[in-house]
Amino acid sequence: MKTVVIGGNFAGMTAALELKRKAGKDHQVVMVDKSPLFLFIPSLIWVPFGRREIKDISFKKDAILNKKGVDFMQAEALKVDTKAQVVKTNKGEVSYDHLVIATGPKVAYDVAPGVKEFAHYIGTPNGAMKTRKALEEFKKDPGPIVIGATQNAGCMGAAYEFLFNIEKWLREQKIRKKVDLYWITPETFLGHFGIDGIAGGETMLKSFMKMFNIHYRTEVGVEEVLEDKVILSSGEELPSKFTMLMPPFVGVDFVKNSPELQATQAGYIPVTDDYRHVSIPNIRAAGIAVDVKLTFKPGKVPFSGPKTGYPSDETGKIVAENISRIIKGETELKKKAWGKIPGICVMDAGKKEVIILSNTLFKPRKFAVMIPNVIFDFSKVLFEKYFLWKTRHGLSQLP
């Protein structure tokens, strides 16, 4: 028996390691990923400010996988033939008995004219390093800055983190008084995060905006980005010498090139609560590749929900557990819908942080709390060190 895992970051790495650990030596696990590196994506927000280098938050995964008995194939998955049970890659075909799709996202830069050309994006190593270079130039001749998320975006948290980090950086560079700092978001209110907010969150973020003198606009999309301004869906034009936007995520080309997967228009895999494909029982999805049904009412401008590291890790574990149960002849599978996964997040706020905890990601919840820590962002740093340590050692079973 063989399981092929497409993708090798949070969800894929966890799924591959956990499945090999649970299914045993007789079950072959193959990871197919075009990148040789595991990247701790949450820490990319620090790269533009020189607080982290890419080498600090990434490492080669082949040695770790091989040590744990997982075969690693560095290749780009192109499409899947679900009837023949074959994944076609740029380095040949790979057959499978079970398939796990943990491909992560593709960034939809075409959400509005000028986003790709004139707005920076920090969600990739290349984008983070380009942003660093742009900031070095910016401080020589500072001016207004626009930070935020476009319509249909879902990764609000990272954009908020970058906003507060750049505000801190401006003060450190002694140019804060020369900069009008703007936050734009499609959210219906500050701190919605695509999870319908958390009690006290809006009030807390409003106080942050006032304390740091940040102008903000909610329920706006991006009509166009130009070299010197951002035109909003409301018709307002914000001057900008530096712009950083989080565009929407969509499914990767592998999914869109495989019509048998019946992906949504956005390119995500329809799954049941055990992360099995709705009509192909030997295919599962984990992490960002999963189609998540949102529970909140949309506002004037559409936006999506978060697909953060913790749910990706959890769905990777659930997928591995369920495949191992099937291999052992069990029929009862573990179920936990995306919205029922606990909300665990540390939002960096420029060497400060907000710890967000809830019993479920989506409402209704039994409890949800946002805890500010204005002294230092030690929780986020600690989590980074812990997760990199556990992954470097292949200890996928740890929380």
Mean pLDDT of 291-302: 91
Q: For residue 374, what pLDDT is reported?
A: 79
pLDDT at 297 exceeding the cut of 80: yes
Strands 181-184 and 145-149: parallel
Q: For residue 351, what pLDDT is reported?
A: 83
Structure tokens given for 361: 């990601």
The topology under which CATH files domain 2-106+249-338 is: FAD/NAD(P)-binding domain (3.50.50)
The topology under which CATH files domain 108-248 is: FAD/NAD(P)-binding domain (3.50.50)
Please write the tens of the pLDDT for every residue from 118-132.
999 999 999 999 999
Q: Quick check: 214 and 350 in contact, CB under 8 A?
A: no
* Most confident of the following: 112-116, 297-301, 367-371: 112-116
Mean pLDDT of 158-170: 97
Contacts of 30 (CB under 8 A, 6+ apart): 2, 3, 4, 5, 70, 71, 72, 73, 94, 96
Q: For residue 1, what pLDDT is reported?
A: 94
Using DSSP, state whether 174 is helix, strand or coil: coil
Please write the tens of the pLDDT for every residue from 358-373.
999 999 999 999 988 8
Please write the tens of the pLDDT for every residue from 85-104.
999 999 999 999 999 999 98
Q: Which helix (H) or strand (E) holds 321?
A: helix 309-327
Strands 353-358 and 343-348: antiparallel
Q: Specify the pTM.
A: 0.95
Mean pLDDT of 129-154: 97
Can 2-106+249-338 and 108-248 be said to share one CATH topology? Answer: yes
Mean pLDDT of 187-203: 94
The whole-angstrom separation of Cα 353 and Cα 345 is: 10
**Distance of CA 59 to CAs 20, 38, 65, 246, 366, Å?**
21, 6, 12, 25, 38
**DSSP annotation of 178:** G
At residue 309 the predicted structure's pLDDT band, cuts being 50, 70 and 90, is confident
The whole-angstrom separation of Cα 294 and Cα 343 is: 15
Please write the tens of the pLDDT for every residue from 12-69.
999 999 999 999 889 999 999 999 999 999 999 999 999 999 999 999 999 999 999 9
Q: Quick check: 32 and 6 in contact, CB under 8 A?
A: yes
Please write the tens of the pLDDT for every residue from 234-276.
999 999 999 999 999 999 999 999 999 999 999 999 999 999 9
Percent of the chain with pLDDT over 70: 100
The whole-angstrom separation of Cα 137 and Cα 247 is: 24
Structure tokens given for 280: 């192909």
Q: For residue 27, what pLDDT is reported?
A: 96
pLDDT at 308 exceeding the cut of 80: no
Q: For residue 306, what pLDDT is reported?
A: 87
Q: Taking the alpha carbons of 388, 391, 396, 398 in that order, is the dihedral positive or negative?
A: negative
Spans of all domains in the chain? 2-106+249-338, 108-248
Of the candidates 192, 19, 154, 46, the residue with the CA atom closest to the CA atom of residue 100 = 19
